[in-house]
Amino acid sequence: MNISFRQINKDDDFEFLWQLHNAALKEYVTQTWGWDENWQRKSFEKQFNPAEGEIITVNEIDAGFLRVIKKETEILLASIRLLPEFQNRGIGTTIIKNLLNTSQKSVRLQVLKVNPARVLYKRLGFEIADETETHFKMIKISAEEN
């Protein structure tokens, strides 16, 4: 399995990323707040920035989206999304492990409480640092900071 990344093309990738948003998150957003298709689409369009993030490809097929923000003292795993047919195949695990192994900083993320991905994050060593009504805020402290 060849996992790679490519830049987002504003014109060609918008619809793919919108469909990915629906496929990867709609169930969990619906459980948490409910789903308003018009509001979701407008919000997605407003937040869409092709300069932020990359398309995840698996064997040269578009499979997902990754956005990592490198800050001075830590790294924020802002978003990792995979189409359902690419989930539970070790792809997300491989990507996150690589991020953890190549970073000398702590990695933070947040996940909806109803999203089962939280189990993966816990298995990879992330701990709950804080929580809101809807999200767990998790951190994996780097070995250098221990």
* pLDDT tens, position by position, 38-70: 999 999 999 999 889 999 999 999 999 999 999
The per-residue pLDDT for 146 is 56
Confidence of residue 11 (pLDDT cuts 50, 70, 90): confident
Domain count, the chain: 1
pTM listed for this prediction: 0.92
What average pLDDT does this structure show over 77-100? Answer: 96
Range of the domain at 26: 3-145
> How high is the pLDDT of residue 92?
96
Q: Quick one: average pLDDT of 116-127?
A: 96
**Residues 108 and 139: beta-carbon distance below 8 Å:** yes
Structure tokens at 52: 């932020």
C-alpha torsion sign, points 143, 58, 29, 10: positive
Higher pLDDT: 140 or 142? It is 140
Is the pLDDT at 127 greater than 80? The verdict is yes
**What's CA 73's distance to the chain center, in Å?**
20
CATH number at 112 reads 3.40.630.30
- Structural contact between residues 6 and 57, judged by C-beta atoms closer than 8 angstroms: yes
pLDDT at 144: 67
Instruction: State phi, psi for 42 to the nearest 5 degrees.
Output: -65, -40
What pLDDT sits at residue 10? 82
* pLDDT band at 145; cut points 50, 70, 90: low
SS3 53: coil
